[in-house]
Every structure is written in structure tokens, then in C-alpha cells.
Structure 1
Amino acid sequence: MHSGKQYSLKEFIIWTRRDIYWIFLLAAIPTALFDFFEFKWLAIPWVPIAMIGTAAAFIVGFRNTQTYNRLWKARQIYGSIVNTSRTWGIMAKDFITNSLTSTATEEELHSIRKTLIYRHIAWLTALRFQLREKRAWENMDKPSNKEYQQLYKVLEYETTLETELQKYLSQEELNYIVSKKNRATQIITLQSKHLKELAEKGLLSEFKHVALEDRLKDLFDHQGRCERIKNFPYPRQFASINMFFIRLFVIMLPFGLINEFAKLGEHCVWFTVPFSVIVGWVFNSMERVGESTENPFEGSANDVPITVMSRTIEIDLKDMLDETDLPPAITPINNILM
């Protein structure tokens, strides 16, 4: 997520410069053929190009609206995770108490509360690592995106899940979790098993047990909603037709502009090149913005900042345990928060 006021024009041009190069060539070649070699038949009427441009503008607008909806939905889901996590922390802290049938010491009760809260942080960690896994339809392998990624850090790409989970799970639980495919799901399973054991020991009343299980149900719901966005791409048929229309428009654009600028006088036809680059860049950049927004967990500069939000939750939960050695908040790198 960009945390500054806006992307600078320089950043945007650097990000799209490869597109500018091929748009320039697409405009310069027909213009040179028209002016130097008298290929007058290259000039075509503006009307069909304008019709294609209108269709391209509609489909680009539709795509960008839908991809923004995917991004905003992902942000709402993680906002719900923040709220449910805080609720889990306060319930784990206050619900684990002695009853008539249990005589645990305060140190034992604190250890149980800490285990439940740390295991929840492990769930947050496993979930964000799963959401950062690459998918075939994502765009981070494109040269421009790879280059821009050098300006910020994606923590999930610089360490391993096992290394991170060691901070929150016992060795026995860690070995069990890393042997599973969907690690986040299995961590919630461990939480439910632990709650059952606590209820059997009399450390949880039936009402409190049910209330905590309901929070686990909420976490499963949040996880499933994240997985739906991660594992179901923006429909490929709409993404493909968007690309086809934009490419067709950009290719045909100089052939229509040649005809218009040639009417202005000798050599004015060369105005075709800069104006084709400008108009083509506008349309192509709108398509690129939609493309970079459609996968909100892929590791791009426009992602939902799930690493930052997970760290915020971790700080809050550890603070609830009255710990003083809290991890530092994650700060932007070149205005990018991940």
C-alpha cells in the first residue's frame, strides 16, 4: 500500500517506461513510412479508431471498478480480522479462570492465556504467508513489477514460515503444523482442541467455551473469504478482452492521427508520434493500474498491507499480556507498506 500523498509522475513513468518504448515504435514506424516513402494508404479515417477507443474506455472503466472492489473487499476482511483478533485476546485473557473444580495457579493460568494468544499470532503468520504464495495469473513476474519491488520489502519473501512460527509455537506443535498443507486451518484446529481440554479441566465454563469457539468460527470465515479472493482471479475472459481492446486501439491510433496531422501542412505529420505516445500511454496506464489492483495479496506496492496489520495485532495482543518487549511497528519503505 502506498502511504504517501500520491505516486509521483516520475515513479509512474519509470514503472510504465517499457510500454512507452513500444508505443513510440508503433507510432514512429508508420509515420516514417508515410512521410519518407509516400505510403499514403496507411492513413485511415478516424471514425473506426474512435469507436474502438470508446469500447476500450468502457471495458477499462468496468475492469478498474471491479478490481478496486476486490481490493476494498480484501481490506474489509483484514479489518474484521483485526477486530476478531482483539476480541480473541481479551476473551482468552479474561475467560481462563479457576472454577469450583479447578485449582490452577496464577502462573499456570497466565501460561495458558499466553499459549492461546501466541497460537493466534501463529495463525496470523501462517495466513499471511499463504496469501503471499504465487499464483499463475498474478503479475509480479513482469519486469516492471520486479524492478519496482526492489524499492520495498516483502517480509514473507525474506524469511520462511517455519522460522517465524518458532516464535509462537512449541516444538511439538511446530512439527505438526509444518507437516500440513493448510497451516492456518490446522492452527485453528489446535486452538479448538485446546479449548476442549480446558473445558474438561473446569477452566472454561460451557458458556465461555461456546463463546470462544464462536470466535474460531469467525476466524475460519475470515480466512475463507481471503482464500476466495486469493484463489479465484479476476475472470480471465474480462482481463483478456481488456488487454485485446487496449492493444488494438494503441496499434491503430497512429494510423488515424497520421491522416489528421497531415492536413495541417508539410511535416506536421510527425506530431503523430508524440500525441500517439501520450494518448496510448493514458489508455495503457489505466489498464496497468487495473491489472496491479486485481490481486490484493500478491506482494505488489498496491497490496492490502497484511504484514503491517498482522504486526499491529501482535503488538496489541502482547500488550494485553502486559509484556514489555513488544515488536516495533513496521514503517514505510519508500512510502510502501506491506
Structure 2
Amino acid sequence: MHTGRSYRLKEFLIWTRRTIYWVLAISIVPTLLYQAAGLKWLTIPWTVVALLGTATAFIIGFKNTQTYNRTWEARQIWGAILNSSRTWGIMSRDFITNDPQKTKELVYRHFAWLTALRYQMRESRAWENSSSRENEEYKQFYTIPEKETPLETELAKYITPTELNYILGTKNRAVQLMSLQSKSIKELLVQNQIDSYQFVEMERIVRDLYDQQGKSERIKNFPYPRQFATINGFFINLFCFLLPFGLLREFDKLNDGIEGIMKGNMVWLVIPFSVLISWVYTSLEQVGESTENPFEGSANDVPISQMSRTIEIDLREMIGETDLPPALQPRNNIIL
């Protein structure tokens, strides 16, 4: 997530520069053929390009709306996890009044669940875009906590070696950690450390956390539909390719009303204007791509690592701890 006022134009140009090189090349070639080689037939009616540009604009707008909705839903899910986690901390502290160690065990296992879940959310998928060349280059400006420390090292801070070995041998580690939580509160009920009402309330939080995990996994494991993403790419590439051919005759007409050095040379302006218009379309497409997968580790992700650390600080304070981990800080205005 970008925490600053906005991206700088320089950052945006660096991020999109490969696309700029591509649209520059496809703008130069037809202009040279038309103006220097004298191939005056090398044009298409502007109406054709305009209609294609309109259709492309609609489909880009549709895609960007849907990808933003995916990111916003992900933010709502993790906001709900934050709220339920605080409730879990309060219940663990106030329901279990005669066993501080058990309270700490429940709270720390919850930290382990958050850790396992965020590591699962950072796993790569075939359709994600963080591995593209421009996104890989941009990763030098920020830090992905899940890529810096192995999961085993993080989990070892919160659970016993026995539980750690068991969890590392499972497929969905977050699910099994929450299963251990349910097992623990069932034992508390059997031992009369909590009553049946308290048991039901704590199980309700377990259910809520499972629900939020499922929603988070749904976004992670189901991409923006590939048929829409594919046709969007086709339309943009086709529009950028045809755009200079549609502008050639329009700019050539301008020579009739021009005097001086630009007389007869107005066609050369097709290159910068074609690049500018194409860059607008391709940049909107690139922004949409960087938004559609909110957990992949890109600069525009939902900051699940920061939120997990916030939960850990809050719950540690609830149970009376003072040796708290530091809050995660943005690097170059980006925090995950």
C-alpha cells in the first residue's frame, strides 16, 4: 500500500517505461513509411480508430472498477480480522481468570494463525503479476516481510515445538492452527475454567475467523476472470497498433493551414501524440493489473503484514506485556 500523497511522475514513468518504448516503436514505423517513404496510402479512417478506442475505454473502465472492488473487499476482510482478533484477545484475558499461561497460549497461537495466513496469502499464483519485469524491478523500493524470514522461524516465536512440527506437516496451516484453538477452548470447558456461555462465545469468534480466512482465500485463489483480462489486452494492443495509422491523414491535413518550418512536417507530430494517447490506455491497464491481486506482494497490496503486527501489539498490551515488537514502517512510502 502506498502511504504517501501520490506516486511521483518519475516513478510512474520508470514503472511504465517498457510500454512507452513499445508504443514509441509502433508510432515511428508507420510515420516514417508515410512521410519519408511516400507511402501515402498507409492510412485508415480515423472513425475506425475512434470506435475501437471507445470500446477499449469501456472495457478498461469495467476492468479497473472490478479490480478495485477486489482490493476493497480484501481490505474489508482484513479489517474484520482485526476486529475479531481484538475480541479474541479480550475474551482470552477476561474469560480465563485463573490461568495467565493459558491466556498467553491462546493469544500467541492466534499470532501464529495470523502469520500462517499472511504467508499463505503471499504465495505465488500463475495469474499474478508481481513477477513481471517492471514489478520485479520496483520491488527494490519496498520490503515484503514474508520473503525475508522463513515461515518456520516466525511460527517458532508463538507455538511450542510439538505444535510447530505438526503444523508444518499440514497443507493448510492456518486452518489447523485455528483447529487447535477450538480444541484448547473445548479443554477449558471440560476443566471448568470457562462456562458454556463463554465457550459458545469463543467458538463464535473461531467461526468468524474461519469465515474471514475463507473470504481471503477466495480472492487469493480465484483470479479476475481470464476471459475479460485477455480480451482487454487484445483490445489495447490493437488500438495502440492502429492509432498512428488513423492519425497520419489527420495531421497531414494540418499542413494546409501551417506556414514556416512546420509546413509539410506536421505528420511528424503523429509520433508524440500517438505515444501520449497510447500511454494513457496502457497505463490504465497496468494500474488495473497491479490492483487485481491484493495479496501478491506488489506495491499496491492490502498491508496484511502491517495489520498483523498491529494486532500483535494490541493483544500483547491486553495481556500486560511491555516488551512489544515495533510497528512496521513504510519504506519509500510503501508498506505491506
Aligned to 1:62: 62
Task: List gaps (5 residues or longer) in structure 1.
Answer: 98-105
1:175 aligns with 2:165: yes
Aligned to 2:24: 24
Matches for 1:1-338 after TM superposition, within 5 Å: 1-97=1-97, 106=98, 109-265=99-255, 266-338=264-336
1:128-182 CA deviation, whole Å, 9 max, x = no partner?
0000000000001111000001100001011111110000000000000000010
What SS does the aligned partner of 2:254 have? coil
Q: Percent sequence identity over matched residues?
A: 60
Shift of residue 235 of structure 1?
0.3
Q: Secondary structure at the match of 2:16?
A: helix
**Structure 1 residue 268 displacement after superposition:** 1.0
Divergent runs of 4+, >3 A: none
Q: Distance in 1 between matches of 2:92 and 2:131?
A: 42
For residue 125 of structure 2, give the secondary structure of its aligned residue in structure 1.
coil
- Find the aligned partners of 1:2 and 1:237 in 2 and give their Cα distance: 29
Shift of 1:52: 0.2
> How far has the Cα of 1:264 moved from its partner?
1.8
Give the distance between the partners of 2:10 and 2:161, measured in 1 at CA. Answer: 49
Structure 1 distance, partners of 2:187, 2:80, is: 28
Inter-partner Cα distance in structure 2 for 1:137 and 1:186: 27
For the residue of structure 2 that corresponds to 1:31, the secondary structure is helix
Residue deviations 1:103-131 (CA, integer Å, cap 9, x gap): xxx5xx01000000000010000000000
Q: How many pairs were matched up?
A: 328
* Paired residue secondary structure (1:41): coil
Structure 1 Cα separation of the partners of residues 103 and 183 of structure 2: 15
Letter matched to residue 52 of structure 1:
L
TM-score computed with the length of structure 2 as normaliser: 0.97
Q: Distance in 2 between matches of 1:281 and 1:163?
A: 44
- The amino acid that maps onto 2:333 is N
AA partner of residue 300 (structure 1): S
